[in-house]
Structure 1
Amino acid sequence: MNLNHKRFALSALSLALSAILTGCGGSDSPAVTTAAKDTTPPSVTISSSASGQVAKGDVTFTFTFSEDVGTSFTADDIVVTGGSVGAFTRVSGTSATLVVTPASASAGTINVGVAAGKFVDLASNANTAAAAVSQDFSIPVAVESGNTGKCTAAPCVGFEGANVGLNAFEGLGSATVENDPVDATNKVAKLVKVAAGQPWAGATVYTDAATKSVAPIGFSATNKTVTLRVYSPAAGDTIMLKVETGPGAGGMEAQAKTTKVNAWETLTFDYTTPTNGVPYDFTKTYNTISIFPAFMASVSADKAYYFDELNYPAAAAGGGGSGGGSGSGLVTLANGVYASNYTDKPTPWKSVEGGDAGRYIDTGVTTQDWWSGLAAGDATPSFYFGYGVNVAAKPWGFGAFVKAPGNGVANVASYANLKVAVWGNDQLINAHPTFTVILKGGAANGCTPELEGAIAPSAIGVQSYTLPLSGFTLKTACTYTTAAQALAAGVAEVHIQVLGSNLQYTAGGDGSGNYPNGLNIGPISFN
């Protein structure tokens, strides 16, 4: 830059103007001065949005400049320690902001600084002074509520609903619905165990006050678990969860231990191998759940336990299956086929249409398991089984069941007949028994409708029978008034039973009073 040349040109111009003004009779011209060059460096001050206090969350730092620095200042000019850099905003040429997030669940200090030489003013003067600020922070550990936000639909039981109740038993101090101990906006179950109560004191959870039951549990061959949110006063306490077919009816028990103190956690209760040794019975409806805090432990002072989000698999109510949905929530049978063949995976059996299948016998007397298997490759495929039944300890009977495709509820409203292939061992058939046929509907409000029919076996060997649906009688009505109404609601299970005097005790004995009784269950369809 040539500064002398510019000064000479300016002086010549001033003289010329002066001459012009004098020639025109003007007054003396004002003195012309040269503007001083800006040589003052810009500066910056930094302030915190949490100044004078301990920050509990994000902090916004404001950068205020002594003069316009244009766009020369960027986020890269800022040094930050003790937090994560967030949004940078250039508000104007004299102001900018930066958001810094401190580490979660920790305490410390955020340091923010700008070094010398990081920005310039409009005269290209760089800052010569550094600037810095510190901000203390303390971020508390997040407190977890009993409500995870995932218990939004049945059968998951939260405790905010007006229909949810608790029924204490065996000397439990109290069972009430209260505010979550860490989240006053959430409702949870509070069970208080007291010294005067039994070690097995507990409470039944219900959503139906009349039956003290919940929506039926839909355990399957691959899922027999229930989860429960628990807030315990101590780690290592045993929580027992019992599922039953009705209050006090007996059922399966599973246990889990708490691992946290005064904090929420989710415990899982697995009924694959129940702790009380009672196996799952696929023929029964489990709709009662009881909670036992500090199970089998006595307490010397009151101990409060909180529970939330009782979650379990729903009982089949339609959908799935080889035929697809019907639009009514029921399974549409492909060409009326309910079960065309069977597989032994998963154990014990399953229809190829995806319905569980199995057998059962009166467990109140001693019987012998004499045979069982699968004949999937036969012309009329079947699964089969047989028992050695003692004439001196006669059971109420035995039977088999096949669930609807996909373990759903089959739509049979358009059909007139049930066709089932069923036969038994020769000794049984020659005794001219009557087979009882039970059609179970989908459970609703803790009740499973049942319709009953009968088969009179006509001969030994493979046989198929067609039963008019109009011949079935309504044995368990639930909310239905006629058999036709119950059938219109769908069929979830087909049972074939040999009951009481229909068992045979005359042929094929083993010399110890045990006699063979068994069934083959083949394809099932509606037409």
Structure 2
Amino acid sequence: MTRSTRHIRAALSAAVFALLLAACGGGSGEPPPPRPDSVVPSAPPVVTITNNVSAEVATGPITFTFSFNRDVGTSFTTEDVVVTGGTKGAFARLSGTSATLVVAPNAAATGTVTITVPANSVTDATGTGNAAVSATKAFNTVAPPPPPPPASGPVVLANFDDIRPPVAGFEGAEGSAIEVGPSGGGSGNSFKVLRSGGQPFALGIIDTAVPFTATRRIIRAQVFSPLAGIPMVMKVEGPGGANSGDVQANEQVVVGWQTLTWTFSGIDPALTYNKIVLLPRLGTVDAPPGRAYYFDAITLTEPSTGATIVANFDDIRPPVAGFEGAEGSAIEVGPSGGGSGNSFKVLRSGGQPFALGIIDVVVPFTATRRTISAQVYSPLAGIPMVMKVEGPGGANSGDVQANEQVVVGWQTLTWTFSGIDPALTYNKIVLLPRLGTVDAPPGRAYYFDTISLLAASAGGGSGPLIFSTGFGTGRRTVEGGEYNGFSGSNLDGFNCNGAPENCGGDGGFVPSSTAADSFFFYYYQTATPAADLYMGIYVQAPGLVGGFSPSADTPGVQVGAQTTLRFKLGQNPEWFSSATNNFMIVMDLGKRYTAGGATCRLQLRRVVTPTAQAATDYAIPLSSFALVQDCGGAVTSVAQALAASPVSQISFQGVGGGIALSDGARTSGANRSVTDSGGRYPTTIVLQGGIRFD
């Protein structure tokens, strides 16, 4: 039925009703008085149109409100509104005198939205139609041009939530897409590169401008990998064949989420690069159904602010030399894909296992600036890449191995000189690639470029220092450090044998939507009280897997001005209610000492009396730890130990009976006296979220 037909029927119904009243009459022969709602008003209903946008020009959807001066019942619908300049959306009748309509202005345009309610579109109870009314609102939905990238500082290129450039997959990665990634990392959506069959170079592409500058050449991303130790390659491309070449991540890849960086030393910042090419596991085909690799929070950044370049072999070109089989070393242009102009080539060919290159330059160490960074090209992977610094009077840092695993090609490596004395002068950098092995003639060339002393933040600084933020799959923290449990007692030969009545073992990790809520728990139980037992959880420093080097310093987190260790830990009720519910914190330091012909390292210990059974936040002053060493008095205080060595591993232990560990003041404990509902004697540690130094 049309609107006009509806109005005619309403008018006819009113006339018929009047005739019936006259025919029937009343007892006096007069018609009854009219009902109040049958009185014909003297004027049509009036509608007023307003909107919710206070600004002069709307930039998005507009909600229009229709207000009537009297009840129009259900006669007003979305069909009664004519819209130009936009598209109708949700309509809501709030009452007989009020309704709303959402209108989306035309996309990517400027203009005016006009709202019209034509005459006689709406009727009141007497069938009287409204007078025509219109309202307008100017709009501009043309997206403003993105602001130019800053001349310096980090630039977020893609996070796939609010910054969501086009993506695609090719050559066996056609199933790639933007979606929510695995828990434990990323933030909202990520770019999933799904490699399934196809070519060994199956790839994902992100179409986004990369505003490189002369100093802003590092891309950082959160990356999830289902495999460890694989090449994680990135390159950037642009019109006219501009191409960075394949660049491998500076860090060793672990299972789960981690932050990786790629240093694009060989790009020309004057050129335009508008594609990021992602090549996970380059060189290998992921057979169907394939594997998914996730990328998030992709950011273009610079080296640490305040870094001091001590040599780049172009404008900063100190004297160099080679010795003991590296006499052919020289400054020259290095391999493509890294470096910037000239590099220092250390050519090892015969000679001694310690064939070396030397750079004569002063390194301005301070108490908080102790890390040297360099771009390094290696023809071999997995080799020791050793550096030391020397000065007059025998000042010597000792051999320091790079913090990162060495790969083939260019990468950025760092060396942390925890044991140096910043009051001394160090004026020689000694480079010892592949220390311990002779490169037989014609030899191998190793290249070094952009050697910098990093800012204080790289050596610990004064702000929060992250040891881990939470637990992921594959026995790796979010930062890539290994974690696990350990246990044993006199009842099973001090080696958990897996028997249900003797052991129990690993409770596993529990993932969460945030790393801070993930937790790892480990339990040990015996069928009868044990005379001696131990159990606990260990967590290793970011990127550290497999424990301590038998012959060199082990990397870790270098504490600077931080004073407090923070973590969240809980126990099982039986242990907490026992008389020996103390737990022990042990921090193992990574610096290797030699005493009496033997290798030793330092430990810091602290026994803690728990304040609650459930997982509870603890803040333990570093000054309250006890120094434990058998290194012939290598250091004499906790502060000196933390200044000299990084923290490589932190463990939380329950150790009871005759082997209970002490920090010199109190003894740790374990549950050997309280049974659970099954009659066993359990000891359980739960570590939730991260570990940090403040």
TM interval, shorter chain, is 0.3 to 0.5
TM-score (structure 2 length as normaliser): 0.26
The structure showing larger relative contact order (alpha-carbon pairs under 8 Å, at least 6 residues apart) is 1
Larger gyration radius, structure 1 or structure 2: 1
